[in-house]
Amino acid sequence: MLKLMDLLTEGVHDKGIFKAVFMAGGPGSGKSYVVRQLFGIPDKINVSVSGMKSVNSDNEFMTILKKHGFDPAFLDQMPEDLFHHLTGKGEGSSGMRDFSRQLTKQRQAGYMKGKLGMIIDGTGHDFQKIKKEKKTLEDEGYDTSMVFVNSTLDVALARNAERDRVLPEKLVKKSWQDVQKNIGGFQSLFGGHFVVVDNSDTLSSKQAQKKFGSYVKSHISKWANEPIKNPVGQKWVQDQFKLKKAGIK
């Protein structure tokens, strides 16, 4: 097997390294669909056509639920105490949500160790959490950006009802409201690397590719293919070239 250093010295040429895109948008915004259209990520695969890795704790959580015999499609039909037991965190919960988050953290830590590009998929309801995570990535040498997938509340509720994993309506409303409150904060935090995608319309795959393709070309692809701006990341790349030139592996 190739050693990590071999992968790093070869991967130094990849344009996607040291790039992290945060995805934000509440349940029913169509965020997962937009992610696939924006980055070309096929169903059940977590790698985009550009090589960026998808990080999403919901995927881990759904897998764990199914392994324990619970169908995510019926979450909204479960008694409230069972719903909170399965999906909650901390004392009194099943621990499945906490476990899925730990698995996701481990996966992301591995990607960071390899300096790989990442698409970090979340709702964006916790502003301080994303602010902290952004700083951690930038301290490691990453350039960061955000794509905020927006929709009206009515559309979010309608889409939620059609999802494989239907959430209680009051939870969708609260999440939508929490995310909306953070738009201004995210815009200030990410500056010129913040893009809002309006996904209120119901689009076919072909229509979505046409609509979101312009965002990819003018923002995401352009940004991802730019030279690394972060000084920490730049130094790492320079050091790898020096090691390679000296024949050190």
- Region 91-104: what's the mean pLDDT? 79
Q: What is the pLDDT of residue 2?
A: 35
CATH class of 16-245: alpha beta
Domain ranges of the chain: 16-245
Burial of 198 (0-12, 13-18, 19+ CB in 10 A): exposed
Q: Is 50 exceeded by the pLDDT of residue 3? A: no
Q: In this prediction, what percent of the chain has a pLDDT beyond 70?
A: 75
- For 61-98, the DSSP string reads HHHHHHHTT--GGGGGGS-HHHHHHHH--STTS-SHHH
For strand 53-55 and strand 118-121, is the pairing parallel, antiparallel, or unpaired? Answer: parallel
Burial of 183 (0-12, 13-18, 19+ CB in 10 A): middle
Between residues 76 and 130, the one the model is more confident about = 130
Between residues 246 and 175, the one the model is more confident about = 175
Residue at token pair 């592996």: 249
Q: Is 60 exceeded by the pLDDT of residue 5? A: no
Report in angstroms the alpha-carbon separations of 9 from 3, 153, 214. Answer: 10, 47, 33
Residue ranges of alpha helices (H) inside the chain are: 4-11, 31-39, 57-67, 80-87, 96-113, 127-139, 153-162, 169-181, 183-190, 205-215, 221-225, 231-245
**Coil, strand, or helix at residue 33?**
helix
Q: Is 60 exceeded by the pLDDT of residue 10? A: no
Burial of 179 (0-12, 13-18, 19+ CB in 10 A): buried
Quote the CA–CA distance of 46 and 36 in Å, as a whole number: 10
Quote the CA–CA distance of 94 and 90 in Å, as a whole number: 9
Q: What is the pLDDT of residue 29?
A: 77
Quote the CA–CA distance of 166 and 47 in Å, as a whole number: 25
